[in-house]
């Protein structure tokens, strides 16, 4: 709420020209002035409203000490902001009993040593109060419009925090119930100092009310959710006692975050979104110090650590082929989070496209390979997945390497029954190389040239010659097994092979031809756009 205080009134030119002298109640100069009331009546108190500043010459005021003390008490009981007395008409100096009574009550008593037009004082102060109220209304409307628009747009936490930063002109932090920083926006000051030792400082602050100002840290804190079911807090930097407007901004932001949470079907969506943004940032530029600070605040240690990236692809067997569904990704992602938490391994976990991307952080002496296997075992016990692991890196600035390598491995790994649980770079051989080169135009041209005739035949006639060729190459020692793999009789299978040889004008018994065709099929599987 916009406030005009007694001290501010005394600084206005119209009153400075009157030579004001504060005789009593200096500690009450911060009282709010809601209006100026000009009067000469000694019994004016019942007609006053809280915050009225009384302006008088004192002509009709009583003479006795007892009556003057009663006058001061009545003004204090009516919650008057203060008493201004113009000297010269009644008194050359304000009576001591009145000064003493006002001092005892901490009621501001000001003597005006020069003549002043009371109407000018009332007008000037009134205009200032109205201006402050209009400013407050405009700010309230701005806050209302901002958060209404965010709600209409179904804005997420990032947009809401940006709005708070804009409206408050200060740093703002969103933390979860475990005091981990989910996101923040910097203020005009040093954000590193503001966030320093965040976990322990935040845990030390308890607040029974929905919104509390913590003077020690200079934080305006608003609880997200009910007291017994809170899911986080919104904290705005506020070094001094925050005005009502800032409290309104914080509480409107908390309401917007709660609405977004209700609209989102994932209870841990804020944490997931944070991990997703951090993972994308690490893939783009792991050298960014602000990004690494965000990782630390989110619970992933980055100093003096070893990092391993994982890419996990859920799968569902349908008619012998691997099919993928969004629900599988969600369920497997939850299993990964549970496994990492159970093993006490700090991790970032998120879904990118159809894969789950994981970054594990280990101490320098940890047996990271065994820990990766344990995470994989716990996930694989509940879900059918293909897991690729990157090589461990010992610098946070190299995190992108292990993340990219794990994705390369999972793209290259064959998701067949009996495969090893965790695939690494040394396990993917030629398929790994083709995965890296698969989008090279020269490699694609080779694969198209080798298989184009069969591809066009199958598309034109709805045939299965590519499947038959793949079965032959995957079962090089037994044509019976190859025929069974595509559910054909031996006679039908031999007929298809003969047709392939006629169309390609090659002999499938030639080892070089087989290698060439097999590589072309691998390129087709590993590349996009076929």
Query: What is the C-alpha to C-alpha distance for residues 361 and 349, in angstroms, rounded to an integer?
Result: 12
The string of DSSP letters for 307-342 reads EEEEEEEE-EEETTEEE--HHHHHHHHHHHHHHHHH
**pLDDT tens for each residue of 488-505:** 998 998 899 899 989 889
Decide: 252 and 143 in contact? Cβ < 8 Å: yes
Please give the full DSSP string across 467-519, using - where no structure is assigned: HHHHHHHHSTT-HHHHHHHTT--HHHHHHHHHHHHHHHTS-TT-HHHHHHHHH
**pLDDT tier at 417, thresholds 50, 70, 90:** very low
What is the model's pLDDT at position 374? Answer: 94
Q: Output the pLDDT for position 246.
A: 86
Pairing of strands 109-112, 82-86: parallel
Q: What average pLDDT does this structure show over 23-47? A: 88
Structure tokens at 423: 């695939």
Share of the chain above pLDDT 90, in %: 33
d(CA 16, CA 23): 15
The answer to whether the beta carbons of residues 14 and 116 sit under 8 Å apart is yes
Vertex 8 angle, CA 3 and 13, to 5°: 135
What is the greatest pairwise CA distance in the chain? 128
Q: What is the pLDDT of residue 326?
A: 59
Confidence of residue 189 (pLDDT cuts 50, 70, 90): confident
Q: Is the pLDDT of residue 322 over 50?
A: no
pLDDT digits (tens, 9 = 90+) for 199-246: 889 988 887 788 999 999 999 999 887 766 678 899 999 998 888 888
Task: Yes or no: say if 109 and 116 are a contact pair by the CB < 8 Å rule.
Answer: no
User: Across-strand partners of 22?
Assistant: 110
For residue 98, the model assigns a pLDDT of 93
Beta bridge partners of 517: none
Q: What is the pTM of this model?
A: 0.52
Examine the pLDDT at 419 and tell me if it is beyond 70. Answer: no
Q: Report d(CA 69, CA 102) in Å as an integer.
A: 8
Which of the two residues, 293 and 46, has the higher pLDDT score? 293
Q: How confident is the model at residue 102 (pLDDT cuts 50, 70, 90)?
A: very high
What is the overall mean pLDDT for the chain? Answer: 85
Q: How many residues does the chain have?
A: 530
* Residue 318: per-residue pLDDT: 44
- Whether the Cβ atoms of residue 275 and residue 181 lie closer than 8 Å to each other: no
Structure tokens at 337: 């989070």
On whether the CB atoms of residues 74 and 45 are closer than 8 A, the answer is yes
* Overall average pLDDT of the 356-368 stretch: 93
> pLDDT tens-digit profile of 460-470?
888 898 998 88
Q: Which residue has the higher pLDDT, 308 or 180?
A: 308
CA distances from 156 to 167, 237, 371 (A): 17, 21, 35
Q: How far apart are CA 408 and CA 77, in angstroms?
A: 78
Closest CA to 3 of 128, 179, 88, 114: 128
pLDDT at position 416 over 70: no
- Side-chain half-sphere CA neighbours of 402 within 13 A: 22
Confidence of residue 340 (pLDDT cuts 50, 70, 90): very high
Positive/negative CA dihedral, 132, 133, 136, 141 = negative
Q: For the stretch 283-295, what's the b/e string if a residue is b when 16 or more beta carbons lie within 10 angstroms of its beta carbon?
A: beebeeeebbbbb
263-273 residue pLDDT tens: 655 445 677 88
User: Would you state the pLDDT for residue 438?
Assistant: 58
Give the H/E segment covering residue 389: strand 385-389
- Please tell me the predicted confidence (pLDDT) of residue 149: 80
Cα separation, 197 vs 382, in Å, equals: 38
Distance (Å, rounded) from C-alpha 195 to C-alpha 184?
9
- Examine the pLDDT at 302 and tell me if it is beyond 80: yes
């Amino acid at each position: 709420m916009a406030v005009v205080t007694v001290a501010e009134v005394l600084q206005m030119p119209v009153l400075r020209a009157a030579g004001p002298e504060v005789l009593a109640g200096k500690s009450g100069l911060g009282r709010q002035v809601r209006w100026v009331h000009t009067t000469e009546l000694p019994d004016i108190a019942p007609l006053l409203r809280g915050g009225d500043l009384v302006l008088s010459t004192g002509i009709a005021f009583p003479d006795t000490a007892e009556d003057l003390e009663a006058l001061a008490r009545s003004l204090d009981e009516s919650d008057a902001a203060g008493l201004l007395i113009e000297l010269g008409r009644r008194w050359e100096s304000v009576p001591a009993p009145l000064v003493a009574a006002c001092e005892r009550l901490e009621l501001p008593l000001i003597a005006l040593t020069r003549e002043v037009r009371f109407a000018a004082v009332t007008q000037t102060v009134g205009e200032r109060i109205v201006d402050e109220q209009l400013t407050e209304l405009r700010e309230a409307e701005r806050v209302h419009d901002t958060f209404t628009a965010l709600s209409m747009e179904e804005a997420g936490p990032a947009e809401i925090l940006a709005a708070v930063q804009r409206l408050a002109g200060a740093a703002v932090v969103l933390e979860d119930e475990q005091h981990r920083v989910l996101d923040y926006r910097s203020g005009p000051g040093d954000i590193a100092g503001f966030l320093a030792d965040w976990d322990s400082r935040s845990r030390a602050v308890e607040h029974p009310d929905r919104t509390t100002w913590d003077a020690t840290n200079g934080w305006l804190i608003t609880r997200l959710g009910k007291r017994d079911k809170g899911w986080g807090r919104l904290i705005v930097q506020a070094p001094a006692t925050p005005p009502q407007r800032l409290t309104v901004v914080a509480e409107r932001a908390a309401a917007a975050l709660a609405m977004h949470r209700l609209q989102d079907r994932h209870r841990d969506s804020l944490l997931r979104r944070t991990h997703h943004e951090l993972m994308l940032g690490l893939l783009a530029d792991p050298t960014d110090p602000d990004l690494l600070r965000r990782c630390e605040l989110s619970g992933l240690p980055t100093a003096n650590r070893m990092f391993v990236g994982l890419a996990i692809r859920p799968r569902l067997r349908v008619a012998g082929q691997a099919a993928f569904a969004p629900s599988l990704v969600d369920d497997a992602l939850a299993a990964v989070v549970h496994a990492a938490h159970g093993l006490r391994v700090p991790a970032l976990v998120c879904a990118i496209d159809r894969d789950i991307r994981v970054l594990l952080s280990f101490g320098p002496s940890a047996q990271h390979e065994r820990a990766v296997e344990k995470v994989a075992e716990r996930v694989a016990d509940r879900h059918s997945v293909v897991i690729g692991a990157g090589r461990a890196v010992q610098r946070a600035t190299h995190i992108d390497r292990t993340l990219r390598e794990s994705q390369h491995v999972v793209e290259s790994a064959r998701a067949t029954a009996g495969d090893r649980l965790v695939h690494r770079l040394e396990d993917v051989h030629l398929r790994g190389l083709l995965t890296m080169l698969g989008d090279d135009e020269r490699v694609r041209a080779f694969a198209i040239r080798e298989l184009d005739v069969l591809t066009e035949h199958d598309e034109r006639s709805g045939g299965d010659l590519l499947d038959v060729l793949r079965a032959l190459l995957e079962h090089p020692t037994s044509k019976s097994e190859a025929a069974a793999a595509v559910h054909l009789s031996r006679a039908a299978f031999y007929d298809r092979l003969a047709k392939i040889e006629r169309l390609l004008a090659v002999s499938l018994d030639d080892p070089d031809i087989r290698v060439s065709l097999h590589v072309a099929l691998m390129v087709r599987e590993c590349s996009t756009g076929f």
